DNA sequence: ACGCTAAGTGAAAACGTTTTCAGATGGTGG
DNA sequence: CCACCATCTGAAAACGTTTTCACTTAGCGT
């Protein structure tokens, strides 16, 4: 493997000069520069990032923590992160925790081991205590999910307001009996969306029935189907459903069809996230759009700023109601 | 930042001994081991992977090259890769090329820079020449897409046979006019699947009409919709469609509905890949399943073996016909 | 002719590990 | 009491960069 020393020898200069040329950030005489550049080409030299990392104590690697890559909600965010990171010379290590603490520990260690310079956490099931403790020594930001009582900066939307808007949309379409398919209320976003749901119902003088609220433990289509199955067994059946994730909503859509009912005539349904498949469902799914790509970009900017010692502020971005055929 | 030297001092031993304890791979006396372990805990020491990487000339990082993370086909493969890699102490750098040569160049450089030890390429639009050239100096394997005349080992399925099976299934269901929604035939898998389609038609004495074959340039639902729109304008309309990707098939499904036709009564449809949403489509989509998780695991094993100088052989795995409601 | 500045360059240290090699120690058999 | 071996340990080199600091040289004004 050819190293900087070889280039220096061939070019008849010192390694310091080669380094200066490679990082073209110091003044080096024009003719020595061309000599060195020639030698680099000649030997097909590529500097070892291993040596550089050690010397500079930087890895230019970012950790992105997410529960599962198969949730399409994250894909656009990741695109934003990656684009932004690359533009500033960073690369990202995509880490699926599978909500598995052991996995999580492995990834946290990458930070302690200096392999990664910072973490963007999108995992709602992350160990908050560990994250807070880590954030005292290392740069960390949260994206989408966050912790109200932690100093870790975050970028997110106003989930409560978004849920309020979604439910209000259903009410304004004439619905009074509205069900909620929620995820585990361990997660802040689930609690916030439930609050939004309840506030919207109350604001319009509508009753909230416990049996209309379904809790799914994980993010899986099947659970959206289960929810509908339960709801259709009730004596007092809802005429509309607000699902806190498109994934549930699409499962629900499917199950409603299976029962021979029509959307939105018999049951209207609105989802959350505007995942790419929401447009391909039948009928197309009304939903709440989050600016996912932008969230990714901003969280990447934030973590890189934090790494460079720049103070960052949390951001709450705007959401958007997308009315399609399911409502 | 506490380093090995500090631990050594506190424990009253040399750095060599600490290193031995950390890598618990040499015999060190039991009582010095406990002393060192105590000191490590006391100082909350974590070895710097930067120093280690330089010294050992290993980064334990794998590059995974894929065109786009939003294609759900890749997610299961990635799961397989990641699980396998982690089990052997490797981490993966997920790289989206977006079929952009500039991006590709950046990622290839990570290999030349020793940041990554090897590449698993799943990108059909990768620059073959560059990949072949690189593979002479660095460990590379291909997953799913591959190059027939390159010595780079791969893991894949028999796309031609799979396509043959899919089309035969349609024929056996009584269809004679079968359309093909294919991707760009620059890609090997597209050419293979077209061959399978044609062979199945010929084997059953059915005519192949050029107007029944649609080529999509990218992997996007919309193109599945476009395809149907074109096909429904024909005088001689097909009664069944074989789409080389579930993504096209789902778009097609949607567009068929929009035209007031029923699946499978008016038009039957079969996809390819068994992506997670294929089960959520209405009706559920018949498709060809690839052992995606296993493909991920195997390609990870292959690349790590290759890195360690172990010879590896290409693998062709079994596919499976999944009959659901769309046929 | 002399000092002074600016520009360009190189020697060497540093980054934090792992690993080789040799040395120290203690026990054992003759 | 000696020689020998086994076991454990430490000093120091090495990995490939970047960066500091000091040095050389050339150009310039006096």
Whole-number percent of chain A with pLDDT over 90:
90
Residue A257 and residue A303 share a domain: no
Identify whether residues B187 and B113 lie together within a single domain. Answer: no
Residue A226 Cα, gap to closest chain B Cα (Å): 13
The residue written with tokens 């951001």 in the block is: A315
Q: Which residue numbers in chain B have pLDDT < 70?
A: none
Optimal mutation site among B85, B113, B218, B259, interface A, most CBs of chain A within 10 A: B113
Contact (Cβ atoms closer than 8 angstroms) between residue A181 and residue A231: no
CA of B148 to C1' of C29 (A): 68
CB distance under 7 Å to strand D: residues:
A 1, 3-5, 15-16, 18-20, 22-23, 45, 47-48, 50-52, 54-56; B 12-17, 20, 26-29, 31-32, 51, 54-55, 57
Distance CA A324, CA B313 (A): 50
Phi-psi region of B85 (alpha: psi -120 to 50; beta: other; left: phi over 0): alpha
Smallest CA–C1' distance to D20, residue? A16
Report pLDDT digits (tens) over A9-46.
999 999 999 999 999 877 899 999 999 999 999 999 99
**CA dihedral in degrees (B92, B97, B102, B105; nearest 10)?**
40
Residues A12 and A102 in one domain: no
* Nucleic acid strand C within 7 Å of A13 CB: yes
The closest nt to A23, taking CA to C1', is D18
Nearest to A282 among B1, B78, B257 (CB): B257
The minimum CA-CA distance between B95 and chain A, rounded to whole Å, is: 8
Q: Which of B59, B78, B280 is facing A50, going by the closest CB pair?
A: B59
Considering the domain architecture, whether residues A183 and A276 belong to the same structural domain is answered as yes
pLDDT tens digits for range A283-307 = 899 999 999 999 999 999 999 999 9
B29 exposure class (CB count in 10 Å sphere: 0-12, 13-18, 19+): exposed
Evaluate whether residue A323 is within a structural domain.
Answer: no
CB contact under 8 A, A277 and B280: yes
Tokens found for residue A105: 């520990």
Residue B229 lies in a domain: yes
Q: How far apart are CA A324 and CA A321, in angstroms?
A: 10
Confidence tier at A251 by pLDDT (50, 70, 90): very high
**Can you tell me the distance from the alpha carbon of A59 to that of A115, in angstroms, rounded to the nearest whole number?**
6
Q: Is residue A327 part of a domain?
A: no
CATH of the domain at A31: 1.10.260.40
Torsion of CA B112, B114, B119, B123, to 10 degrees: -50
d(CA A52, C1' D24) / Å: 29
CATH number at residue A264: 3.40.50.2300
Contact call for A280 and B282, based on CB within 8 A: no
Tokens read off for A286: 């009304």
Give the CA A196 to C1' C16 distance in Å. Answer: 52
* A70/A131 same-domain check: yes
> Which range marks the domain in which residue B276 is found?
159-289
Q: Are A196 and A272 in contact (CB under 8 A)?
A: no
Chain C: bases < 7 Å from a protein Cβ: 7-12, 14-20
pLDDT the model gives residue B127:
92
CB contact under 8 A, B280 and A251: yes
φ/ψ of B181, rounded to 5, equals -105, 110
Residues A182 and A301 in one domain: no
In eight-state DSSP terms, residue A209 is -
Distance CA A28 to C1' D13 in A: 32
CB B255 within 8 A of CB B229: yes
CA distances from B171 to B10, B165, B185, B232, B318 (A): 77, 10, 24, 20, 22
pLDDT tens sequence across A182-217 = 999 999 999 999 999 999 999 999 999 999 999 998
Of B46, B72, B251, the CB nearest to A113: B46
C-alpha distance from B281 to closest chain A C-alpha (Å): 7
What was the pLDDT predicted at B120? 98
Burial class from Cβ neighbours inside 10 Å (0-12, 13-18, 19+) for residue B1 reads exposed
Phi, psi of B312 (to 5 degrees): -125, 155
Q: Which residues pair with B64 in a beta bridge?
A: B94, B120
The closest nt to A4, taking CA to C1', is D16
Q: Is residue B327 part of a domain?
A: no
Q: Per-residue pLDDT averaged across A131-142, rounded?
A: 96
Does residue A52 form part of some domain?
Answer: no
In-domain check, residue B15: yes
A123, A198: one domain: no
- Give the residue numbers in B contacting A (CB under 8 Å), as ranges: 1, 46-51, 53-54, 57, 59, 69-70, 72, 75-76, 78-79, 82, 86, 91-94, 96, 103, 106, 109-110, 112-115, 221, 250-251, 253-254, 257, 276-277, 279-282
Same structural domain, A132 and A196: no
Does A164 lie in the same domain as A151?
no
Q: Do residue B171 and residue B227 come from a single domain?
A: yes
* pLDDT, tens only, B186-211: 999 999 999 999 999 999 999 999 99
| Å from the B171 CA to the D30 C1' | 101
Residues B146 and B79 in one domain: yes
Say how far B207 CA is from D20 C1', in Å.
78
How much is the pLDDT for B5?
A: 96
Contact criterion met (CB < 8 Å) for B113 and A48: yes
Residues B264 and B309 in one domain: no
Number of domains in chain B: 3
CA distances, B142 to each of A52, A323, B121, B305 (Å): 30, 42, 5, 14
Q: Pick left, alpha or beta for residue A174 (phi over 0 → left; psi -120 to 50 → alpha; otherwise beta).
A: left
Instruction: Give the pLDDT of residue A44.
Output: 96
Once rounded to an integer, what is the mean pLDDT over residues A173-178? 96
Whether A265 maps to a domain, the answer reads: yes
pLDDT of res. A27: 82
Cβ count near A68 (within 10 Å) = 17
Q: How far apart are CA B200 and CA A126, in angstroms?
A: 51
What lies within 8 Å, CB to CB, of A304 at 6+ separation is A62, A84, A85, A88, A90, A118
Residue B282 is predicted with a pLDDT of: 84
Residue B240 domain-assigned?
Answer: yes
Task: Report the DSSP pairing between strands B178-182 and B240-243.
Answer: parallel
């Amino acid at each position: 493997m050819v190293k900087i020393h070889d280039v220096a020898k061939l070019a008849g200069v010192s390694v310091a000069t080669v380094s200066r040329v490679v990082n073209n950030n110091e003044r080096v005489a024009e003719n020595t520069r061309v000599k060195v550049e020639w030698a680099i080409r000649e030997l097909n030299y590529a500097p070892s990032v291993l040596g550089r990392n050690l010397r500079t104590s930087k890895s230019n690697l970012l950790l992105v923590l997410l529960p599962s890559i198969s949730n399409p909600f994250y894909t656009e965010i990741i695109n934003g992160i990656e684009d932004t990171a690359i533009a500033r010379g960073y690369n990202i290590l995509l880490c699926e925790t599978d909500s598995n603490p052991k996995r999580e520990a492995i990834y946290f260690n990458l930070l302690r081991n200096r392999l990664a310079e910072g973490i963007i956490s999108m995992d709602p099931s992350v160990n908050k205590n560990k994250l807070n403790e880590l954030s005292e020594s290392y740069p960390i930001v949260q994206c989408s999910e966050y912790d109200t009582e932690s100093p870790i900066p975050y970028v997110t939307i106003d989930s409560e307001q978004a849920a309020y808007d979604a439910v209000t949309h259903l009410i304004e379409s004439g619905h009074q009996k509205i069900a909620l398919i929620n995820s585990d209320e361990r997660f802040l976003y689930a609690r916030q969306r439930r609050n939004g749901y309840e506030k919207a119902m109350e604001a319009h003088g509508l009753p909230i029935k416990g049996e209309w609220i379904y809790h799914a433990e994980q993010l899986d289509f099947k659970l959206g189907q289960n929810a509908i199955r339960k709801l259709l067994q009730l004596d007092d059946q809802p005429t509309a459903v607000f699902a806190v994730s498109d994934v549930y909503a699409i499962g629900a859509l499917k199950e409603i069809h299976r029962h021979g009912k029509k959307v939105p005539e018999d049951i209207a349904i609105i989802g959350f996230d505007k995942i790419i498949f929401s447009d391909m469902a039948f009928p197309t799914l009304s939903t709440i759009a989050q600016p996912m790509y932008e969230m990714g970009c901003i969280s990447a900017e934030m973590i890189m700023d934090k790494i460079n010692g720049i103070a960052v502020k949390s951001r709450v971005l705007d959401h958007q109601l997308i009315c399609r055929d399911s409502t």
